[in-house]
Amino acid sequence: DVKVTQSSRYLVKRTGEKVFLECVQDMDHENMFWYRQDPGLGLRLIYFSYDVKMKEKGDIPEGYSVSREKKERFSLILESASTNQTSMYLCASSWTETEAFFGQGTRLTVV
């Protein structure tokens, strides 16, 4: 069974804090993704990575950065959290030819 694990289910952070969201997958997938889900907007791609140390911007990368030092781990970093980054964050991984598998999500609230 494919497992994508996000380090936290719920997080509350203060405006201006640096926030790290961690994601680990155990299937040796080459691709990893970070999405955010907001009501009425569906899932929007923030960043994705197709190999270690490789990353590409998605549709809404502003205010975020990522790190992929090891194949199994993909981190999303909010350099200075703002209230408009309050959202559900979803990590996913895949082989190139298959569907993406998602983690359980992290509900981030920035106050």
Partner 1 sequence: DQQVKQNSPSLSVQEGRISILNCDYTNSMFDYFLWYKKYPAEGPTFLISISSIKDKNEDGRFTVFLNKSAKHLSLHIVPSQPGDSAVYFCAASSGSGAQKLVFGQGTRLTINP
Residues at the interface with partner 1 (CB under 8 A): 4, 9, 31, 33, 35, 40-45, 48, 50, 56, 58, 90, 92, 94-105, 107
Q: How far is the CB of 90 from partner 1 (least distance, A)?
A: 6
Cα 88 to Cα 102: distance, rounded to the nearest angstrom: 13
Q: How far is the CB of 80 from partner 1 (least distance, A)?
A: 26
Q: How far is the CB of 98 from partner 1 (least distance, A)?
A: 6
The token duo for 59 is: 């549709």
Q: How far is the CB of 32 from partner 1 (least distance, A)?
A: 11
The sign of the dihedral angle between the CA atoms of 29, 32, 36, 41 is negative
Which of 4, 76 has the CB closer to partner 1? 4
The 3-state DSSP composition of the chain as helix, strand, coil percent (nearest 5) reads 5, 60, 40
What are the residues facing 75 on neighbouring strands?
Answer: 22, 67
Residue that the structure tokens 């959202």 belong to: 87
Which of 15, 104 has the CB closer to partner 1? 104
Which of 10, 14 has the CB closer to partner 1? 10
Which of 3, 18 has the CB closer to partner 1? 3
The token duo for 90 is: 């979803």
Q: Which amino acid is at 69?
A: E
